[in-house]
Amino acid sequence: MLTRRAPALALALALALALALALAAPLRAEPTLGARLPIEGAEHLDRLFAALDARARGEGRVRVTHVGDSHVVADFWTGAMRERWQRTFGDGGRGFVLPGRAWQSFGQRHVLQRSEGEWAVHTLKRDRRDGSFGPGGCVFESADPRDALEVLTRPGAPASAFDALTVLTLGGPLSGPFQLDVDDVPYGLISAERPRTELVAHTFHLSDEPHAVRIRPGGRGAPLRVLGLSLERAAGGLIYDAVGLNGGQAKQLLKNGARGLEESLAPLRPTAVVLSYGINELFASAWDDDAYRAELHETLLALRAAAPDADCLLTGPFSALRRGAPHPGLDPLYAAQRAAAAAHRCAFWDARAAMGEDLRPWQRAGLAQRDGVHLSRRGYERVAELFDESVALSLARWRAARPAPPPAPPPPR
């Protein structure tokens, strides 16, 4: 009997040994996709590099306002950038956030937003009116005091503490007041009435810790229009805003109007504005190169006028597929964006080249979704790593090119 069981016992021992070796072996590493490329036109990022350099010494404040389409709204790419840069340059707070759920699937990292009641939501994408839509391109409107908007940051989470709260409303002759509660402490009835229609920034000073902010219409019949909140730390650090709309296109920023765009950016005081658009323009309709170049020129002209003290950086669209192959329309789109960036003194990051031109290896590695446009969460975090490395490379070159500081004078005798 022992003899008959020997082959089976040997097989079982072999299988057990193979399983043990497999468990002991290191997991196969995820393929490293992408390349570290310098920022093109990095000479246009002098303000940003100087501010990052100062923050590396613990001085000053840096704010990057990243505007774009669904790649930005999801806040996987930008959220990873926020975490990476705040670890290096200091936590300046979560920055700009929309005050509630702009649509059913809306949500971002490092903050929780809630909407209660029947808020009307107007966006740059859907609304046909011109006017001020705020930094997030979105206005929440209600006159019912039973409605509420709430923003929470969570203890222990990145970018959770803030001690300066700014509530952005659309003020005017017929604008209603609002009730503000912070951590269930009422701040009273706050007026948004102004002689003319304009964006109004209401700033409140708090303790430096996570908070729960709740806003309700004041209940006097006139509508309250809330454009967003900015959660900041007064001591400095770095802020990385993520603002945009699903399906967004760069030309939609022009719906703000010249004054509205300037009003939207003024409360944020960005060190640099990053624009990430292009994929929706490419897929929206038949490509018209001349029309796209004209729209992008007008958009950048308005942006540079609205934020003259901020550096400008365009990122090209990610690699994308059409009918299972790299989209041929990306070539003329990239040419138009490069030309516009150079003409308006903006830097440019070639995201497609950094990713490796073809999205299919990213799909096979689980870093890109099947639609051939969007990435997985891990994919967006990989793009953040590539973008971070590109900025770091260009920052190192900027530091190396600076003239050496003059020698210190000899001590007096």
Phi, psi dihedrals of residue 51, rounded to the nearest 5°: -70, -40
For the entire predicted model, the pTM comes to: 0.88
Cα 331 from Cα 263, distance rounded (Å): 35
What are the φ/ψ torsions at residue 91 (nearest 5 degrees)?
A: -85, 110
pLDDT of residue 99: 92
9 band by pLDDT with thresholds 50, 70 and 90? very low
Which is more confidently placed, 17 or 171? 171
Tokens of 53: 């350099």
Q: Which of 312, 389, 324 is nearest to 355 (CA)?
A: 389
Show the domain range for 256. Answer: 35-92+236-398
- Quote the tokens at residue 223: 């509508």
Q: Is position 163 within any domain?
A: yes
CATH code, domain carrying 294: 3.40.50.1110
Q: How confident is the model at residue 406 (pLDDT cuts 50, 70, 90)?
A: low
Q: 190, 207, 235 — which closes off a domain?
A: 235
Which range has the worst mean pLDDT, 137-141, 218-222, 304-308? 218-222
Q: What are the b/e assignments for 106-136, b being 16+ CB within 10 Å? A: bebbbbebebeeebebbbbbebeeebbbbbb
Distance CA(269)–CA(175), nearest Å, equals 25
**Segment among 150-159, 188-197, 251-260, 304-313 with least mean pLDDT:** 251-260
- Encode pLDDT of 200-230 as tens digits: 999 999 999 999 999 999 987 889 999 999 9
Give me the mean pLDDT over the 266-281 stretch.
Answer: 95
Classify residue 409: in a domain, yes or no: no
DSSP string covering 145-182: TT-EEEEE--TTSTT--EEEEEEEEEEBTT---EEEEE
**Domain check: are 285 and 377 in the same one?**
yes
Percent of the chain that is helix, strand, coil (3-state, to 5):
35, 25, 40
Encoded amino acid at 221, one letter: G
Amino acid in the structure at residue 188: G
Is residue 397's pLDDT more than 70?
yes
Position 5 pLDDT exceeds 70:
no
User: Three-class SS of residue 131?
Assistant: coil
Residue showing tokens 């393929």: 31
* Residue where one domain finishes, among candidates 235, 263, 279: 235
pLDDT reading at 327 higher than 60: yes
Domain-terminating residue out of 235, 259, 289: 235
Mean pLDDT of the region 62-67? 98
Total domains, the chain: 2
Mean pLDDT of the chain: 88
